[in-house]
Amino acid sequence: MARLNYLELPVTDIAGAKAFYAAAFDWTFADFGPSYAATTTGDTDLGFQADPAEATAAALPVIEVDDIEAVAAKVRAAGGVITVPIFTFPGGRRFHFQDLAGHELAVMQTGD
């Protein structure tokens, strides 16, 4: 079955993007030249593209977590802005936030 296994986001500050996601989600990144960095977990990975000539359209990725309240607090502490507070949907709970580059993402926790 097909599944999303990678998402690339255009950024203007790779160091800032890496610092934000490391602080909010404990992720680590590998540098692939001066204008590209990415996670390399082998699962669904995230790449940052800082070359304006290679920029792609924005998307809304959803990040699954075990403790949504703790992650919301970490997102705020890392400088993110919660744009949609935690809400319930069939299958779990979710919130939306903007990262330091203005990308909107969602965080979800499965369960009742």
Identify residue 104 by its one-letter amino acid code: E
pLDDT, tens digit, 9 for 90 and up, residues 6-49: 888 999 999 999 999 999 999 999 999 899 999 988 788 898 98
CA atoms of 49 and 4, how far apart (whole Å) = 18
Percentages (nearest 5) of helix, strand, coil residues in the chain: 20, 35, 40
Task: Describe the strand order of the beta sheet including 104-110 as a list of residue ranges.
Answer: 62-64, 104-110, 92-98, 81-89
pLDDT, tens digit, 9 for 90 and up, residues 60-98: 788 989 999 999 999 999 999 999 999 998 789 999 999
